Amino acid sequence: MCGILAVLGVADVSLAKRSRIIELSRRLRHRGPDWSGIHCYQDCYLAHQRLAIVDPTSGDQPLYNEDKSVVVTVNGEIYNHEELKANLKSHKFQTASDCEVIAHLYEEYGEEFVDMLDGMFAFVLLDTRDKSFIAARDAIGICPLYMGWGLDGSVWFSSEMKALSDDCERFISFPPGHLYSSKTGDGTTHHGFLKAFPPPRTILFFSDRALRRHAIIKRLMTDVPFGVLLSGGLDSSLVASVVSRHLAEAKVAAQWGNKLHTFCIGLKGSPDLRAAKEVADYLGTVHHELHFTVQEGIDALEEVIYHVETYDVTTIRASTPMFLMSRKIKSLGVKMVLSGEGSDEIFGGYLYFHKAPNKKEFHEETCRKIKALHLYDCLRANKSTSAWGVEARVPFLDKNFINVAMDIDPEWKMIKRDLGRIEKWVLRNAFDDEEKPYLPKHILYRQKEQFSDGVGYSWIDGLKDHANEHVSDSMMMNASFVYPENTPNAARLTVPGGPSVACSTAKAVEWDAAWSKNLDPSGRAALGVHDAAYEDTLQKSPASANPVLDNGFGPALGESMVKTVASATAV
At 385 the three-state DSSP class reads helix
Tell me 509's DSSP state.
G
List residues forming the annotated binding site. 98, 229, 265, 339-340
Contact (Cβ atoms closer than 8 angstroms) between residue 203 and residue 407 = yes
DSSP string of 293-329?
Answer: -HHHHHHHHHHHHHHH----HHHHHHHHHHHHHHHHH
Q: How far apart are CA 326 and CA 290, in angstroms?
A: 10
| Known binding-site residue numbers for L-glutamine | 98
CB atoms closer than 10 angstroms to residue 458: 16
Q: From the candidates 2, 44, 143, 168, which is the catalytic residue?
A: 2
442 by Cβ neighbours in 10 Å (0-12 / 13-18 / 19+) ranks as: exposed
Scored b (16 or more CB within 10 A) or e, 319-339 reads bbbbbbbbbbbbeeebbbbbb
Check residue 165 and give left, alpha or beta (phi > 0: left; psi -120 to 50: alpha).
Answer: alpha
* 182/387 Cα distance (integer angstroms): 31
> Is 264 an active-site residue?
no
Order of all β-strands in the sheet with 286-291: 286-291, 261-266, 226-229, 336-338, 391-393
Report the C-alpha gap between 557 and 553 in whole angstroms. 6
β-pair partners for 229: 263
**DSSP 8-class letter at 550:** -
Collect all residues with Cβ–Cβ distance below 8 Å to 465 and sequence separation of at least 6: none
Question: CA–CA separation, 433 vs 29, rounded Å?
Answer: 45
CA angle 321, 314, 358 (to 5 degrees): 130
* Binding residue ranges for ATP: 229, 265, 339-340
Q: Which of 319, 312, 317 is nearest to 460 (CA)?
A: 317
Q: Which of 142, 146, 182 is nearest to 164 (CA)?
A: 146
Task: Pinpoint the alpha helices (H) of 494-544.
Answer: none
3-state secondary structure of 279: helix
Tell me how far the alpha carbon of residue 400 is from its chain's centroid. 18
Catalytic residues: 2
